[in-house]
């Protein structure tokens, strides 16, 4: 009986000896992390699976691709820009009610998509999907930051990997169901499935309580002072970090959002490619590999940044992103090279969703980490507004300008991170720790 009670005890509960409590609590926090990863995987299709539905929607309704894709832009903006509010709710009320609400909204959104017969209905579903995805994303990343002060980059990276790679597991099933049963039934089935799984996970989420003896990594500079969102936004360090996030996110989004049109212009989007016993169109296989790379890089770079520092890691990966984009420009006209360099672009780009949340928690404290990291995450929404610039740069089918522009801003961001952000952030942390309160 005692063992059963011990197993059910929440993290931080005093049951048994001190040593066993720490061991149980450590296992408990990893269990909480796994729940967050599952939730993130279940909302991944709201963003990364959308591209599979666009053409079928157009073929049936003839609304125009631009009008249909506006729903995607609406989703991204709502998902990112409302995360600070959802993060504030998490900091105040805990993760369970916020994720449960997100589960219901995410499920409703795709069910609405399955019945939508007008563009306003599609746009309304995009708003609801954004609310649901933001609630789940902000909560799970915030929880990871709070549970793991000793492995903050790794924990945030593993959690974000669920969002980056989650859709890779369902790209083929969704594509197959759309082909066999239509996009409406696919929206309905996966909407219900994803919502139910997230809701089930939400029931087991609890407020983070760091196990005894767990401290921040000595290799990472961290603040002992907790900033509210308002205090954080008054610091130059926040705004420089925000600009770097926008720059790298915009460059990556501009390139990755156009992979389909680029492959089509290069003439091999539907080229059959065989790998591991599967034969798929080149674009479908490329997107699957890219999503896996996008997920893999998040814990990898988070782990590396825990050991060599955030800005040092940013220099390496941002410059790697720039070189991968230039490689895609130079060699991408060959199908295999296109797949290879597209995967490298995702590999070097996806880490922003692990390093930046960890850096925010390091710099501005852990008490309001969900709201603060959510505020930084709005940079993704801001960056999405720059994506249409790629259409102007690629006028006449000249994709080289898109690749060069994206590569330049990525490499510049890496250099600025090391030479400007690193000393600025160190100064901000040292002054606040010495004063014992936020300095704004």
Q: How high is the pLDDT of residue 399?
A: 81
Q: What is the mean pLDDT of residues 47-57?
A: 85
Indicate whether 184 pLDDT > 80.
Answer: yes
Indicate whether 268 pLDDT > 90.
Answer: no
Q: Is residue 3 part of a domain?
A: no
203 versus 395: the higher-pLDDT residue is 203
Of 131-135, 155-159, 174-178, 218-222, least confident by mean pLDDT is 218-222
| 259 and 370, same domain (yes or no) | yes
Q: Is residue 303 part of a domain?
A: yes
Q: Is residue 12 part of a domain?
A: no
| 34 and 181, same domain (yes or no) | yes
Q: How high is the pLDDT of residue 117?
A: 93
Q: Is residue 69 part of a domain?
A: yes
| 307 and 362, same domain (yes or no) | yes
Q: How high is the pLDDT of residue 277?
A: 67
Indicate whether 187 pLDDT > 70.
Answer: yes
Indicate whether 363 pLDDT > 70.
Answer: yes
Q: How high is the pLDDT of residue 172?
A: 78
94 versus 396: the higher-pLDDT residue is 94
Q: Is residue 114 part of a domain?
A: yes
Indicate whether 439 pLDDT > 90.
Answer: no
Q: What is the mean pLDDT of residues 164-187?
A: 86
Q: What is the mean pLDDT of residues 34-57?
A: 89
Last residue of a domain, one of 215, 241, 258: 215
158 versus 16: the higher-pLDDT residue is 158
Q: If DSSP states are collapsed to H, E and C, what string results for the chain?
A: CHHHHHHHCCCCCCCCCHHHHHHHHHHHHHHHHHHHHHHHHHHHHHHHCCHHHHHHHHHHHCCCHHHHHHHHHHHHHHHHHCHHHHHHHHHHHCHHHHHHHHHHHHHHHHHHHHHCCCHHHHHHHHHHHHHHHHHHHHHHHHHHHHHCCCCHHHHHHHHHHHHHHHHHHCHHHHHHHHHHHCHHHHHHHHHHHHHHHHHHHHCCCCCCCCCCCCCCCCCCCCCCCCCCHHHHCCCHHHHHHHHHHHHHHHHHHHHHCCHHHHHHHHCCCCCEEEECCEEEEHHHHHHHHHHHHHHHHHHHHHHHHHHHCHHHHHHHHHHHHHHHHHHHHHHCCCHHHHHHHHHHHHHHHCCHHHHHHHHHHHHHCCCCHHHHHHHHHHHHHHHHCCCCHHHHHCHHHCCHHHHHHHHHHHHHHHHHHHHHHHHHHHHHHHHHHHHCCCCC
Query: Domain holding 381: CATH number?
Result: 1.20.1250.20
- What lies within 8 Å, CB to CB, of 271 at 6+ separation is 281, 282, 335
Q: What is the mean pLDDT of residues 120-146?
A: 94
Find which of 185-189, 204-208, 295-299 is predicted with most confidence, using mean pLDDT: 185-189
Q: Is residue 181 part of a domain?
A: yes
Indicate whether 6 pLDDT > 70.
Answer: no
Last residue of a domain, one of 215, 237, 263: 215
Q: Is residue 300 part of a domain?
A: yes
| 265 and 211, same domain (yes or no) | no
Looking at the structure of the chain, the number of domains it has is 2
Q: What is the mean pLDDT of residues 205-229?
A: 82
Give the domain extent around 382.
Answer: 220-434
Find which of 67-81, 223-237, 274-288 is predicted with most confidence, using mean pLDDT: 223-237
Percent of the chain, pLDDT > 70? 90
| 34 and 144, same domain (yes or no) | yes
Percent of the chain, pLDDT > 90? 48
Q: What is the per-residue pLDDT across 12-28, written as a single tens digit (0 to 9) for each?
A: 333 333 333 444 568 89
pLDDT band at 3 (very low <50, low <70, confident <90, very high): very low
Computed over every residue of the chain, the mean pLDDT equals 86
| 259 and 346, same domain (yes or no) | yes
| 288 and 419, same domain (yes or no) | yes
Of 229-238, 240-249, 368-377, least confident by mean pLDDT is 368-377
Q: What is the per-residue pLDDT across 339-356, written as a single tens digit (0 to 9) for each?
A: 899 899 988 988 898 899
| 289 and 417, same domain (yes or no) | yes
| 306 and 371, same domain (yes or no) | yes
Q: What is the per-residue pLDDT across 277-314, written as a single tens digit (0 to 9) for each?
A: 667 788 878 877 887 888 889 999 999 999 899 999 99
Q: Is residue 136 part of a domain?
A: yes
Indicate whether 426 pLDDT > 80.
Answer: yes
390 versus 204: the higher-pLDDT residue is 204
Q: What is the mean pLDDT of residues 368-381?
A: 90
Indicate whether 1 pLDDT > 50.
Answer: no
| 156 and 239, same domain (yes or no) | no
Last residue of a domain, one of 215, 231, 256: 215
| 188 and 253, same domain (yes or no) | no
| 225 and 207, same domain (yes or no) | no
């Amino acid at each position: 009986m005692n063992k059963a009670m011990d197993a059910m005890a929440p993290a931080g509960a005093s049951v048994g000896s001190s040593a066993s409590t720490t061991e149980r609590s450590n296992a408990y926090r990893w269990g909480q992390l796994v729940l967050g990863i599952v939730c993130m995987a279940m909302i991944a299709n709201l963003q990364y699976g959308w591209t599979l539905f666009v053409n079928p929607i157009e073929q049936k309704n003839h609304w125009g691709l631009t009008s249909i894709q506006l729903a995607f832009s609406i989703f991204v903006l709502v998902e990112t820009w409302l995360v600070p509010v959802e993060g504030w709710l998490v900091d105040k009320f805990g993760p369970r009610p916020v994720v449960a609400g997100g589960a219901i909204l995410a499920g409703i959104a795709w069910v609405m998509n399955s019945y939508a017969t007008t563009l306003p209905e599609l746009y309304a579903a995009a708003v609801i999907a954004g609310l649901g995805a933001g609630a789940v994303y902000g909560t799970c990343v915030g929880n990871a930051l709070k549970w793991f002060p000793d492995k903050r980059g790794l924990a945030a990276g593993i959690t974000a990997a669920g969002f980056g790679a989650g859709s890779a597991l369902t790209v083929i099933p969704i594509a197959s169901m759309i082909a066999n049963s239509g996009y409406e039934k696919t929206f309905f089935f996966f909407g219900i499935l994803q919502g139910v799984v997230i809701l089930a996970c939400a029931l087991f989420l609890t407020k983070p309580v760091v196990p005894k003896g767990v401290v921040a990594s000595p290799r990472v500079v961290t603040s002992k002072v907790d900033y509210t969102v308002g205090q954080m936004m008054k610091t130059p360090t926040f705004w420089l970090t925000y600009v770097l996030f926008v720059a790298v996110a915009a460059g990556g989004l501009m390139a990755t959002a156009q992979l389909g049109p680029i492959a089509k212009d290069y003439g091999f989007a539907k080229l059959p490619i065989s790998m591991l016993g599967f034969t798929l169109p080149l674009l479908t296989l490329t997107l699957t590999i890219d999503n896996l790379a996008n997920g893999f890089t998040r814990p990898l770079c988070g782990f590396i940044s825990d050991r060599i520092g955030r800005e040092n890691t940013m220099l390496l990966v941002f410059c790697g992103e720039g070189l991968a984009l230039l490689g895609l420009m130079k060699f991408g006209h060959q199908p295999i090279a296109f797949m290879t360099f597209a995967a490298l672009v995702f590999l070097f780009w996806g880490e922003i969703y692990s390093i930046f949340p960890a850096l925010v928690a390091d710099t501005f404290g852990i008490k309001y980490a969900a709201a603060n990291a959510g505020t930084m995450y709005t940079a993704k929404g801001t960056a999405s507004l720059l994506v249409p610039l790629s259409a102007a740069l690629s006028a006449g089918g000249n994709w080289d300008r898109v690749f060069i522009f994206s590569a330049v801003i990525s490499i510049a961001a890496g250099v600025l991170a090391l030479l400007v952000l690193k000393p600025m952030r160190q100064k901000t942390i040292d002054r606040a720790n010495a004063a014992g309160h936020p300095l704004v």
